Amino acid sequence: MTALAADLATLDATAQADLVRRGEVTAEEVTGAAIERIERLDPALNAVVTPLFDSALEEGRRLGGGPPAPVPFPGVPYLVKDLFVEIAGVRTTNGSRFLRDSVGRVDAELVTRLRCAGLTVVGRSNTCEFGLLPACEPVLHRPTRNPWDLTRSTSGSSGGSAAAVAAGLVPMAHANDLGGSIRFPASACGVFGLKPTRGRNPLGPTCGDAVSGFMAEHAVTRSVRDSAALLDATSGPALGDPYPAPTPTRPFVSEVAADPGRLRIAFTSRTPTGHPGHPDCVAAVEDAAGLLSDLGHELVEAQLPGLTPEVGRAIATGYYAAVAWFLRLAAGATGREPGDGELEPGTRAFLERGREVSAADYLLAVQELQAFARTVAGFLTGFDAWLTPTLSTPPVPLGEIVSTPDDPLRALRRGGPTVEYPAVVANVTGNPAMSVPLWWNGDGLPVGVHVLGRFGDEATLFRLAGQLERARPWADNRPPVSATAAPSPELALAAP
């Protein structure tokens, strides 16, 4: 690996963009350096499933054809997750053999905004089939491996993006979140992941409101300021969107260095069933609570109210319906139904359940979840945020969260115990939430902590995250498989 490629890997997206603006490197060189890192490291990780190197270099050359463009991220390399978000002329498989030959018809509005921000899309990142699991092990593309331990899961569904950012292939990468899929892999890979408020980023033109607002688009990043600056660049309603998120009072990037003041933060180490998670996850949240207290915040141990069995059943109904909806959408686009062997066993089981959900069933579930959202909003009138572990276990071994034809719900049973803390609350309510990488266990594996904020209040989360990042910087915590690590002969042998 060249010195330039290794040196740039130590910088976040904001710093790389600053080098381009100062003329110290060109946009094409920054893009080329990322391609070099991907070619060197991705055989071990399997994070990038569709390289787009030629078009990315061409975009870098275009950006370097004159004075630096007045954009936030000129030439900074970026990955777009291979799920839902279309890129015209580029395959969009959603991790499924059914869509292995599917090609994007239009650019998603988000992709248009990413390019307007100066980012060069160097590829598409791996995901589990249709993003349904807290894992990234699709049959079509094979597993993505965690750069902290190549035998471990990245969680999911944005596992390819999180592994790529953790290993330094790119400084930040696209992720989306229907129940925790930005935050879970951020925790497992030791990076920062913020799920924004409902309606903050556009979902069009394919969707206006995916699954009654469960879906959110954003990214995983090395630094808090990158997440904030990227959200500034991409957020805001698109023409015809069903509703906007509340307008921020100033740019999000301005919040990162701002003093959050003294916040009142609820926290718990117990799952909704009353049981603690894995001891490492309990230790991570207790450590975070202690750090926050030392920083001057008021910490109050409290469980989130309203997480009843009825709410759990309503969430399940929503997910089953979502699978049936998306498979019908895909069948319409391809002109056929999925054939035998084209869906993984777990997806097929979800689809069969989804086809049993009536319109009335779905709307009753939405009503139940909207009532729950009001309960959460009431709870957060007394607190600025709610702190828990992000995952309920450290990263699990690869192969743990997969189904088989004989046991199609195995992945659901095995994956459930890894996500017992209710990250899905942020999807149900539309509230912003984040996973912050503050703690590593005795095996050197990252264990993130999760912070749920008030609706529309990313500003408080960015201020708090910036304070935590300054108090306990994590950017220099690099995994064994990374662009800044010494070359290892094991890399050549570790390809999935």
Instruction: Read off the pLDDT of residues 13-68 as tens digits, 9 standing for 90 and up.
Output: 999 999 999 999 999 999 999 999 999 999 999 999 999 999 999 999 988 765 55
Looking at 125, 153, 157, 212, which residue is catalytic? 157
The answer to whether the beta carbons of residues 132 and 95 sit under 8 Å apart is no
Active-site pick, 125, 153, 181, 212: 181
Provide the token pair at 265.
């933060």
Query: Using CA atoms, how far apart are residues 49 and 43, in angstroms rounded to an integer?
Result: 11
What pairs with residue 451 in β-bridges?
387, 434
Mean pLDDT of the chain: 95
Distance CA 130, CA 109 (A): 20
164-201 pLDDT per residue, tens: 999 999 999 999 999 999 999 999 999 999 999 999 99
pLDDT of residue 484: 84
- The answer to whether 30 and 77 have CB atoms below 8 angstroms apart is yes
Count Cβ neighbours within 10 Å for each residue of 134-152 and write b for 16 or more, e otherwise: bbbbbbbbebbbbbbbbeb
Contact yes or no for 250/235 (Cβ under 8 A): no
CA–CA separation, 95 vs 343, rounded Å? Answer: 10
Give the pair of three-digit tokens for residue 352. Answer: 């069969």
Question: What is the predicted pLDDT for the residue at 43?
Answer: 98
3-class secondary structure, 221: strand
Query: What's the average model confidence in pLDDT over 441-457?
Result: 98
* CB half-sphere exposure, 217, CA atoms < 13 A: 30
8 A C-beta contact, residue 424 and residue 179: yes
- pLDDT band at residue 74 using 50, 70 and 90 as cut-offs: very high
Closest by CA position to 457, among listed 485, 413, 490, 426 = 426
CA 174, CA 185: separation in Å to the nearest integer?
12
pLDDT level of residue 69 (50, 70, 90 thresholds): low
Both tokens of residue 368?
């139940």
Query: Picking from 69-78, 408-417, 457-466, which range would have the lowest pLDDT averaged per residue?
Result: 69-78
User: What values do phi and psi take at 277, rounded to 5?
Assistant: -80, -165
317 Cβ contact partners less than 8 Å away, ≥ 6 residues apart: 357, 361, 362, 365
Q: Which fold has domain 3-493?
A: Amidase signature (AS) enzymes (3.90.1300)
Task: Tell which residue, 198, 149, 156, has the closest CA to residue 175.
Answer: 156
pLDDT at 67: 52
- Tokens representing residue 128 in the block: 């589990």
pLDDT tens readout for residues 274-305: 989 999 999 999 999 999 999 999 999 999 99
Annotation says 181 is catalytic: yes
Phi, psi of 161 (to 5 degrees): -65, -45
Q: What is the pLDDT of residues 196-227, one digit of tens each?
A: 999 999 999 989 999 999 999 999 999 999 99
Pair 391, 248: CB distance under 8 Å: no
